[in-house]
Amino acid sequence: MQHRSILFTFLACLLGVVSHAQTYSILIKGGTVIDPKNNINQVMDVGIFEGKVKKVAKDIDPKEARQVVDAKGMYVTPGLIDIHGHVFFGTEPNHYLSNGLVALPPDGFTFRVGVTTIVDAGGAGWDSFSEFKNNVIFNSKTRVLSFLNIVGQGMRGGNWEQDTADMDPNLAAGVAIKNRNDVVGFKVAHFQGKDWKPVDNAVKAGKLANMPVMVDFGGSTPPLPLEELFMKHLRPGDIYTHAYTLLEGNIRETIVDEATQKVKPFAIEARKRGIVFDVGYGGASFNYSQAIPAMKAGFYPTTISTDLHTGSMNGSMKDMLSIMSKFYNMGMDLPAIIKASTWEPAKVIHREQLGHITEGAIADVAVFSMRKGNFGFYDKTGYKVEGKEKLECELTVMGGKIVYDLNGITSPIYLTK
């Protein structure tokens, strides 16, 4: 009987160890969870198991997790969603952002700043999408989605993007519908003519596929009027990117009157109508002279995005966290910034399974610290705003796996097999 009692005790202990070890694969402990969808902004723990968020609660026992992330003093948020990047990278000359040398491989530029989902904004068109899917989407750890260019050749630059004969809404919609897991909408960009056809064809494709349209608008002199774009051509839910830009040469109307420093009334009405205002920072698409008065008027971006490519990342844009830090230093509060970088873009692209830390949701999670110091945030004109705080990514979890850990805040850092 004594041997049997010892055996039962041993088995019970063994089962207890196994059950504890299997409760959570990752436990993110002690951080301030900011989850705008669920209105959470407080210190909580996040337990992850089998690729999903298993539990969000206070004081989860660290003995129940295989790996524990010490997030004390840090912010824990959903994985960031960058809805305007350029990741259709390749080696073809004269291909610009469509299988060309100016786009970037996503995995090298996403996880290190907390981005788990990036949308390629128009690099691929209906004619080049299969190559983008096979080369980039299938071979990236980052979740890569696509705004399909209304131009069949995609964003090759030059005359390719001026060819209205290649802007076929039916072919574009057909490719989008066939690839609903990967395509989230349509893109219009870089058209320089005095013609609404590119926008109208993209919107037609959007109606056929039930998807939004992102518009990089302007190029003609004088520019086509923004009010007409917002009120007569776009639909609620469509996206106006590069919202805070002032381009030289009077080729794109601004949303802020540079003389009065007031947000134009039609922009306010467009927002009420449901037009999405996206940052789309880019290499030349953000000016403090537009952003600062807009912030003072409470005209905040619906979504924050990078317009990532080789030019913007080495210019004033840098990365997603640099832009978020700019808006923080302009007075936008951190929960609103997180919302514009997670839950709002998830809704805009109709991917509501992303952008939040709900129990049962996909475990895309980012951990950030707020660095203290003296920082300079400048725009393309050289205008600089100085700040004392800057977001820095400490750790990124993608689909329940740690894909980036800056300072080894995970214990153990690596699991032994």
- Asked if the domains 24-77+361-370+390-411 and 79-349 are classified in one and the same CATH topology, the answer is no
pLDDT interval class at 159 (50, 70, 90): confident
Is pLDDT above 80 for 16? no
- Domain definitions of the chain by residue range: 24-77+361-370+390-411, 79-349
Cα dihedral sign, 153-239-106-291: positive
> Is the distance from CB of 264 to CB of 255 less than 8 angstroms?
yes
Q: Do strands 262-263 and 75-78 pair parallel, antiparallel, or not at all (unpaired)? A: unpaired
Whole-number pLDDT of residue 417: 66
pLDDT, tens digit, 9 for 90 and up, residues 173-211: 999 999 999 999 999 998 888 889 999 999 999 999 999
C-alpha angle 238/264/323, rounded to 5°? Answer: 60
Domain 24-77+361-370+390-411, classified CATH 3.50.50.60, yes or no: no
- Look up the CATH superfamily of 79-349: Metal-dependent hydrolases (3.20.20.140)
> Is the distance from CB of 255 to CB of 299 less than 8 angstroms?
yes
pLDDT, tens digit, 9 for 90 and up, residues 295-347: 999 999 999 999 999 999 999 999 999 999 999 999 999 999 999 999 999 99
pLDDT, tens digit, 9 for 90 and up, residues 50-107: 999 999 999 999 999 999 999 999 999 999 999 999 999 999 999 999 999 999 999 9
> Annotated binding residues, as ranges?
84, 86, 187, 242, 307
Is pLDDT above 50 for 10? no
DSSP assignment string, 252-268: S--SEETTTTEE-HHHH
pLDDT interval class at 12 (50, 70, 90): very low
> Annotated binding residues for Zn(2+), as ranges?
84, 86, 187, 242, 307
Alpha-carbon radius of gyration of the chain: 23
Centroid of chain to Cα 202: 22
Long-range contacts of 378-381 (CB under 8 A, 24+ apart): 378/316, 379/286, 379/287, 379/288, 379/316, 380/283, 380/284, 380/286, 380/287, 380/315, 380/316, 381/287, 381/288, 381/289
Kindly report the pTM of this predicted structure: 0.94
pLDDT interval class at 248 (50, 70, 90): confident
Q: List Cβ neighbours of 357 (8 Å cut-off, separation of 6 or more).
A: 33, 35, 38, 40, 46, 53, 56, 76, 77, 78, 365
pLDDT interval class at 223 (50, 70, 90): confident
Query: Which residue's entry shows tokens 């205008």?
Result: 383
Count Cα atoms within 13 angstroms, Cβ side, for 37.
19
